[in-house]
Structure 1
Amino acid sequence: MTKITLTREITVSGEPIIELTLREPTYDEMASCGIPFTITEDGEVKMDLKSTLRYLPILAGIPPSSAKQMTPKDIMTASMSIVSFFTASAV
């Protein structure tokens, strides 16, 4: 599990939230959402934002409407944490 402190509160079920906890994805979630990165010919890891955005509300246990309230910075922080579940180290 990974904890993320948000730069701006979001509302989840009517309650203000400033911290999210992301859990590791399950097999079925991986089959549904895919691998959240590709590896280039140069060996660089390239994040697949569409995939991380699918994972975000699932792994954080929040509705998509709450995830949509997140700032771009918080979305990128969460996305990098999601990718780190699949790699030996964080991106």
Structure 2
Amino acid sequence: MSDNTVILKKPIQAHGDEVTTLTFREPNGDDVMTCGYPLQMHSDGSAVPIAGVVGKYISRLANIPASSVKTLSVTDFQNCMMVVLPFFTGAAESNPDPVNGD
């Protein structure tokens, strides 16, 4: 399974089907221009995820409706976020383990 795949702990409905896994494509410039950056940077160098923006990326990159993202369990949302954020932090290349349902 791809490093960009999340096995959902709680299936969701998307496009009229039950979905148990989400596979994310890499974002492109259009995604960034449409969604913005998913992290709020602070003056001390720390960064905090912006849940609404992360949700937009989950929808776009996994090709599911925003309404389906809203039904993700908190654990599944967080696991998806851990796939999305490394695209913006440069950590995608250094994280070889896929996020899974275990």
Q: TM-score range by the shorter chain?
A: 0.7 to 0.9
Aligned counterparts of 2:36 and 2:15: Cα–Cα separation in 1: 28
Output aligned runs, 1:1-91, within 5 Å: 2-89=4-91
TM-score (norm 1): 0.86
**Once the two structures are superposed, what CA deviation does each residue of 1:21-64 show, in whole Å capped at 9, x if it has no partner?**
01111101101111110232222221111211111111110112
With a CA cutoff of 8 Å and minimum separation of 6, indicate the structure with the bigger relative contact order: 2
Q: Which runs of 5+ in 1 are unaligned?
A: none
TM-score (norm 2): 0.78
Aligned counterparts of 1:48 and 1:12: Cα–Cα separation in 2: 23
Q: Name the % identity.
A: 31
- Identify the range of structure 1 (44-53 vs 19-28) with the bigger mean alpha-carbon deviation: 44-53
Paired residues, what number? 90
- How many angstroms does 1:88 deviate by? 2.0
Aligned counterparts of 2:64 and 2:80: Cα–Cα separation in 1: 13
RMSD of Structure 2 on Structure 1 (CA): 1.6
